[in-house]
């Protein structure tokens, strides 16, 4: 069976249809149909991450009582579009850096944030989008988005048409959506479905839009979360000040354990690193907006 190839005329016609689309009238399924010619022959190099990836997720609330409150929400509570989810469709949105949830949630002074940390326990295969030169310029990112990952460079190097589709989808997916313009998410949801609806992918990797592309977001399917994501900790944080993209915070409490019912066991203190033996060496580094500790062999130490 022959492998389909991208065709320039199909790409041009598809882009023209999308650019002239009436977002008020069209459905997500209409955009999926529009996108079909762009994916007929489109090829990606997908990153496969080993277990041990740390992810961060935030929820605006004072102090959740059960682990279900900080994981993906029940489908019936999803009342609006998201960048990857339809109404009534639940995913696990997370980030690769601790600072990202503050920006993604647009958190305000006086609010409380439950900031949780998770760790993958199995290999993770992701599709990707948003890593392009146009997105770097649009987001004013400090990172060279089209050059930071080998899997992005490999995807773009397959052919000029493949690079064109990659860059166009990335730009459309990464558009900032303001309040009142949520209908634009119909297109980003359709793109997401095309990219990671297949069972071979557990999620989608993309640069964080609200943090100007300077870190990455991951949206995970619930079955991967249930089977291959381990809860590590949650912090209850009060936002003392939020101004000019800077936050003054106070950590009020933390939890690293849950009971058999999934209830969070709050410790009454901030997270701390515990020495396992006298004289143990700990190397502390600032990474992604937080201090991370490693032992003498380079293994990451989780706070307790």
Shared domain check, 300 and 204: no
- pLDDT grade for 287, boundaries at 50, 70 and 90: confident
Shared domain check, 297 and 150: no
Shared domain check, 296 and 199: no
Share of the chain above pLDDT 70, in %: 97
- pLDDT grade for 1, boundaries at 50, 70 and 90: low
In the predicted structure, residue 277 carries a pLDDT above the cut 70: no
Shared domain check, 92 and 201: yes
Q: Nearest CA to 94 among 65, 124, 135, 64? A: 124
Shared domain check, 223 and 283: no
Shared domain check, 289 and 157: no
Task: Report how far apart, in Å, the C-alpha atoms of 236 and of each of 103, 111, 114, 252, 257 are.
Answer: 17, 11, 5, 5, 14
Shared domain check, 256 and 300: no
Average pLDDT over residues 213-228: 97
pLDDT of residue 286: 85
pLDDT of residue 284: 85
Shared domain check, 283 and 182: no
Shared domain check, 280 and 187: no
- pLDDT grade for 75, boundaries at 50, 70 and 90: very high
Shared domain check, 297 and 192: no
pLDDT of residue 131: 97
Summarize pLDDT for 156-192 with one digit per residue, the tens.
999 999 999 999 999 999 998 988 899 999 999 999 9
What is the spatial distance between Cα 229 and Cα 222, in angstroms, rounded to a whole number?
A: 10
Shared domain check, 295 and 255: no
> Tokens 């009342």 label which residue?
79
In the predicted structure, residue 279 carries a pLDDT above the cut 70: no
Contacts of 289 (CB under 8 A, 6+ apart): 97, 98, 99
Shared domain check, 289 and 234: no
284 φ, ψ to 5°? -110, 130
Q: How many domains does the chain have?
A: 2
In the predicted structure, residue 211 carries a pLDDT above the cut 60: yes
- Range(s) of the domain holding residue 202: 1-271
């Amino acid at each position: 069976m022959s492998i389909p190839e991208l065709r320039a005329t199909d790409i041009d016609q598809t882009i023209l249809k999308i650019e002239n689309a009436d977002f008020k009238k069209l459905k997500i399924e209409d955009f999926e149909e529009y996108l079909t010619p762009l994916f007929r022959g489109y090829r990606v190099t997908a990153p496969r991450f080993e277990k041990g990836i740390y992810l961060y997720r935030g929820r605006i609330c004072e102090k959740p009582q059960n682990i279900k409150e900080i994981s993906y929400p029940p489908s019936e509570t999803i009342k609006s579009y998201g960048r990857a989810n339809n109404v009534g469709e639940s995913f696990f949105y997370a980030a690769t850096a601790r600072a990202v949830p503050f920006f993604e949630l647009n958190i305000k002074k006086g609010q409380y944030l439950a900031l949780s940390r998770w760790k993958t326990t199995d290999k993770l295969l992701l599709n990707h989008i948003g890593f392009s030169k146009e997105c770097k310029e649009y987001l004013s990112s400090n990172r060279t988005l089209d050059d930071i990952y080998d899997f992005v460079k490999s995807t773009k190097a397959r052919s000029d048409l493949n690079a064109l589709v990659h860059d166009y989808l990335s730009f459309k997916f990464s558009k900032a959506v303001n309040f009142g313009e949520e209908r634009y998410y119909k297109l980003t949801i359709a793109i997401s479905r095309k990219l990671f609806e297949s069972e071979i992918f557990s999620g989608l990797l993309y640069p964080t839009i609200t943090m100007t592309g300077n870190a990455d977001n991951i949206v995970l399917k619930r079955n991967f979360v249930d089977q291959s994501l381990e809860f590590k900790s949650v912090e209850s944080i009060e936002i003392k000040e939020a101004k000019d993209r800077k936050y003054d915070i106070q950590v009020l409490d933390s939890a690293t354990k849950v009971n058999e019912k999934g209830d969070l066991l709050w410790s009454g203190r901030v997270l701390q690193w515990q020495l396992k033996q006298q004289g143990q060496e700990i190397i502390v580094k600032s990474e992604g907006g937080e201090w991370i500790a490693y032992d003498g062999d380079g293994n990451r130490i989780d706070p307790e």
